[in-house]
Amino acid sequence: MSFATVTFPIINETYEQPTGLFINNEFVKAKSGKTFKVTSPADESLIAELQQAEAEDVEIAVEAASKAYKSWRFVPPNEKGKLLNKLANLMDEKRDLLAKIESLDNGKALHCAKFDVNVVIEYIRYCAGYCDKIDGRTITTDTEHFTFTKREPLGVCGAITPWNFPLLMFAWKIGPALATGNTIVLKPASATPLSNLFVCSLIKEAGIPAGVVNVIPGSGRGCGNAILQHPKIKKVAFTGSTGVGKTVMKECAESIKKVTLELGGKSPNMVFKDCNVEQTIKNLITGIFFNGGEVCCAGSRIYIEATDEEWYNNFLAQFKKAVEDLKVGNPFEEGVFQGAQSTPDQFETVLEYIQAGKESNLKLLTGGERIGDKGYFVQPTIFYDVPQNSKLTQEEIFGPVAVVLPFKSTEELIEKANDSLFGLAAGIHTEDFNKAIYVSERVEAGSVWINTYNDFHPSAPFGGYKESGIGREMGLEAFDNYTQTKLVRARINKPIL
């Protein structure tokens, strides 16, 4: 299968990009012969033309995964761990290149991509270390039986991942799937498949057997639906919007698949007057402007204590200055904090929300405009003194747009923070640890960060409450998503003496 020579802008380095579907450890053409174009969010130029998977290709990938499962499930756990460790080591050797591919394809600033790649490598290593720890338990029931459980793999798993964190979501799916003895068919977002396909060449180099990992970029309708509906796929992991997640759940119900969903969010980031102001402003910026705001757990609802009007206004002024100091531009430019929005559709959606805020006479603290006339760049934007019932408060924007809402009491804050369909994450900023714990116990969110934000670790589970999803990524909890429990109960006959 052919490769495309791709050049990174500004730094003028090149690399060889796989352009085929990765099935059975080979890059192959789509059966239909269809292709699609991948373009740069930074300058809208063509990066590469890739093979486009359809339902027929899903069938071939599933058959490859089914065949591989018969042997992969019985590979000794320590051997699985060695293979995953080798993959992590190969990725570590290519970490700079992987970050550049991610920035080029997704539009994110290079520092964001480097953060992603580091988490990816550490998570694959974490999964490698867990391969030989998928244990059952013995159960004491009486003296006449020996009873125990085993945690066994599910079989072929399907995964559908989004465009905002292509490589991170890839790792969060394949790591626990392979560690627990499953095989996988993964459809990356059509907008951002390049890093996934490049890592596939490392999967083969690591010695992971053919058919264990299959990566097939394609449309949601032609490729994604075929994954959801395939009877041989026993589990689906989906990361994306809540609306699409509901459809995924309905489709999987037809064949009773196990489903995990990591969906949308509108996370509250809560600032008390007794916080460390300098550190808190850094945390707020990370919470909403990291990755261009294209983060499901983005702290886009910022609640700031307003019991002291002077303090409140001073905090807003310092926040405004810090945000206006952020550099927005091509991911490969020196010092860029925020790159481009990943897709033209999302770019337009963000601008529409900003326009809606202006038309409803919301107070604009900073930003609110497109940058340039080429590429998908948006100014970091903050509206302040925004009503709780505002569209911009209630709906996920998925871009560099935050709303600030004042609060006077802790109970008022908790009520407003929980006034959302979502429950993915929350941030609390205060020097009073008792207050932080009190609020953390009452906020409805799957992850609560205190005096930090977007602070991930491979051993820390991540997932949502309410309409933000089902199941957890990372941590020990992730492995539960990819296993099923078998009970073995044997009657013990009394020995003849």
Three-state secondary structure string covering 367-428: CCCEECCCCCEECCEEEECCCCCCHHHHCCCCCCEEEEEEECCHHHHHHHHCCCCEECEEEE
By DSSP bridging, strand 258-262 and strand 469-470 are: antiparallel
Sorted by sequence, the CB contacts under 8 Å of residue 379 that are 6+ apart come out as 328, 366, 367, 368, 369, 370, 371, 400
Judge whether 444 counts as a catalytic residue: no
Q: Which of 102, 262, 294, 467 is catalytic?
A: 262
SS3 494: coil
**DSSP-assigned states of every residue in 246-289:** HHHHHHHHTTT-EEEEE-----EEEE-TTS-HHHHHHHHHHHHH
CB count in 10 Å sphere of residue 480: 18
> Rounded distance, CA 469 to CA 416, Å?
21
SS3 457: coil
Assess contact for 170 and 194: CB atoms under 8 A. no
Would you give the distance in Å from CA 164 to the centre of its chain? 7
Would you give the distance in Å from CA 145 to the centre of its chain? 45
> Rounded distance, CA 62 to CA 60, Å?
5
Residues designated as active site: 262
